[in-house]
Each structure stands twice: as C-alpha cells, then as structure tokens.
Amino acid sequence: MSKITPLSGFPEWSPANRVVEQHFLDRIRRVFELHGFASLETRAVEPLETLLSKGETSKEVYLLRRLQADAEEPRGAGDAQLGLHFDLTVPFARYVLENAGKLQFPFRRYQIQKVWRGERPQEGRYREFYQCDIDIVDRDTLPAHYEAEIPLVIGDVFAELPLPKATIQVNNRKILEGFYRGLGLADPMETMRIVDKLDKIGPKGVLKELVAGGVSEAQASACLALAEISAEDGSFAEQVLKLGVTDPLLDEGLAELVAVVETAAAHSPGLCRAELKIARGLDYYTGTVYETQLAGYESIGSVCSGGRYDNLASSGDERYPGVGISIGLSRLLGVLFGKNALSASRGVPTCVLIALTADEDRAAAMRTAASLRARGIAVEVSPSAAKFGKQIRYAERRGIPFVWFSGPDGDSVKDIRSGDQIAAEALTWNPPAEDRYPTVSGPIV
C-alpha cells in the first residue's frame, strides 16, 4: 500500500472521543423526544438546483457522480446533477413538500445526520460533520409561540450535557429589515449582510462598507446604534424606539422578539439574550434567529444556530412555514477535544473482564459473560489464559474497572483500581451505577 495521506476536514475520533460523542448524541436525542419531536432521516443527496436555490451559494457543495456514467444517459442528466446536502433544513423542506399528504401538522421532527461542506478546514470547521436539528412546520401559518419554544428545548439539551453555561442570543430579521426600511435604505438585505460582519471586521469596517455601498454616514451610524442594543429582558424594545425610526415591520419584529425573550426568562432565567447585531447568513430566515455561545468559549462563535423561515418549504400555492435550530455537534466537540476539555472515564464500554485460568475454561467463561450481559453489563472474556497479572494489566490498559475470577470455591470480582475483591454470582452481582457505563466529564464553568 502506498503512503497514506490524511484528509483534513474529515474527523475520525479516537474510541475514547467516540464515547463522548455517543454520550452527547444519546442525551440530545432523548431531550428532543421528551419535547415531542419525531425522528427523521433524509437522503444524503439533493438535486443541485434544490441546493443552490435557497440562497446558500456561499457554501461549496460537493457534487456526486459515478466514475463511469452510462453511455446512454442523456447529456446533463443523472448523478452529475446531485450534490451532498450542506445542511438538514433544505432537505427537510423538500421532504415536507413531497410528503405533506402523509404528515400531521404542526409537524415536529428531529434529525441527526452528517452533512458536507467544501469549506477550508480549521478549528471547529469540518467538511464532514454531524448536525442535530429540530424543526416545527405548519400548513399555511405558524404561530409565533413556536419561536419562543425552540430556545427552551435547546436550554434543556445543554443542561443535560457536561458543558459550560449556554446563552442563546436572539434577534428578529423583521426588526432589522423594518429598521432599515424606516431609515430609507434601498437594499435592506445588503445592509443586513454587511452588519452581520460586525464581529469579524468591527464597527469601523462595517461603517466603511455601508458608506461605500451608498448609505449615508448618518444612516450607517443608526445601523450601528441598533446593532449595539443588547438585553436579557424586553427592555431592548424601548432602546430601539428611542432611536426614532418607525416602520410596521419593525413593530411586528419587536413584539415577536419580546415574547421570545420574556418566555425564556420565565422558564429559564439567563438562557436567552436579545442581541440586535445578529442576522444569520442564510437568506431564507424571515423572523426570529438564534445563535448560541458557551461561557468561556465565546471565541469559537456559535455552536447552535437557526431561525424562522416562511418560504423555504413552498411550491405554488402550498406553503409550510417553519422554525428550527441546529446544534453543530462535530464543531462543538472538535474544539473541546482540541483543548482537552472533554474526557471519558474509559474508552471502551466493557465493565468486566472475565479472566481465564486455562484455555479449556473459555466455554464456562462465555456462559458467565452471557449471564452478566443478560442484565445489561458489558463484558469481555480475556483473550488468553495468561498469568492473572498479565490479564489484569490488559484490563488496566483498556480502562476496564473489574476483573471476574472463577474457581473451585466460587466466583469473585475484583475492582482493579482499589484492589478490593468480593465473592460474586453472575446472576445477582451488579457494578456501582457510575461504573456500569463510561462517564463523560467536561468544562463546567
């Protein structure tokens, strides 16, 4: 075999890191289901025209095609027109349109799958990664109270994980668009795009780009003043009104965002914070938008984002507005793994290693293992009947906490960390609860 060259942007976690990843996936899935979201998995590919029609042309889409196309295949048809999905929202919107007659609305779904983006790999940025999404869609109209519900679900998710405090920053695109209209700006969406760069290029950079695009300095200063507004309660609305700009769409957005922030404050104080600089880069968002930061890890940016969309799932007279949010799981884990901030108590699920006195005892050891497994205890049988010291060292290297011994006077189990050894029976013995499964610890702050 020729020398193997690693591929950047395609993470392959170690077994110990996979324990952490599986722990996160299990907890996320459980909380989503507790909130009534049903599981869904869509295909990995979509027609290229679908992927490029939703305002996401800034992301590099991986095309899919066979090495050798059929000679009789029409020119321009087939696999060459398929692309790997870059998120889970666009495929979900397509799924809703295709299956609307079979779904009960409002439809609540969660989706945990890998997605692919041709981005430049860097810390927390991958070309293949897991996203964990929830969305709520309805037919024709979607009540605004769902926009207030989404942060509560995510708050419960992060409370279940060994992570620092999560703060969901929220805004409403109607506030931005209405404010820019009230200022008399000809292209509110372009202004929104520039202001969304505030954290990257700073106020001076935003001001320069706005003025270069034909916005007056007074208008640009007003845009920056709006972006500076931040509050954990509904007081941000008064701060906006003091800027002296009026527009019906602005009023509508303020009312919706106040409901989101105040609902979150009533259920989980400190969970949400209104940040009027947030716009989100995707063109399909039309209402509330979300970005989530972890205390002490603000430099990595948002680890959970989303928003309200009214026209993504629409075709002709059919319209299915929705709201959703996505946890960038691989992004989150990759950064924390890189900082050694997440760890598992062991890299294998095995709780007990059954030692062998002689090779001919393997059949009996397998029966003991079956009895323990029947009660949900993960077991391995020793690979060989080596000296007990060597078998114990094997368990230590694997991180297995207990070794099981069988002898003429009965069975016993040894905690190789403490050295304690007690008599045990395969039909009744149980490990301590904290040892039954690998445990995960993280950067609680």
Rounded Cα distance, 376 and 393, in Å: 24
Residue 343's pLDDT is what? 94
| Count of CB atoms situated within 10 Å of the CB of 155 | 20
The CATH homologous superfamily for domain 352-441 is Anticodon-binding domain (3.40.50.800)
Residue 445's pLDDT is what? 47
Please give the class, per CATH, of domain 15-66+77-343. Answer: alpha beta
User: Left (φ > 0), alpha (ψ -120 to 50) or beta: where does 280 sit?
Assistant: left
Amino acid letter for position 29:
R
Residue spans per domain, the chain? 15-66+77-343, 352-441
Residue 444's pLDDT is what? 56
Amino acid letter for position 263:
T
User: Left (φ > 0), alpha (ψ -120 to 50) or beta: where does 237 sit?
Assistant: alpha
Rounded Cα distance, 383 and 120, in Å: 44
Token pair of 166 as six digits: 């999560």
Token pair of 266 as six digits: 């009533």
The number of residues making up the chain comes to 445
- Overall pTM > 0.75: yes
Residue with tokens 């945990």: 112
Amino acid letter for position 158:
F
Query: 144 and 152 in contact (C-beta within 8 Å)?
Result: no
Query: 142 and 150 in contact (C-beta within 8 Å)?
Result: no
Q: What is the pLDDT along the chain (445 residues), one digit of tens a residue?
A: 567 888 889 999 999 999 999 999 999 999 999 999 999 999 999 998 888 875 555 468 898 887 776 655 555 455 558 999 999 998 999 999 999 999 999 999 999 999 999 888 877 789 999 999 999 999 999 999 999 999 999 999 999 999 999 999 999 999 999 999 999 998 998 999 899 888 889 999 999 999 999 999 999 999 999 999 999 999 999 999 999 999 999 999 999 999 999 999 999 999 999 999 998 866 788 999 999 999 999 888 899 999 999 988 888 888 999 999 999 999 999 999 999 999 999 999 999 999 999 999 999 999 999 999 999 999 999 999 999 999 999 999 999 999 999 988 899 999 999 999 999 999 999 999 999 999 999 875 4
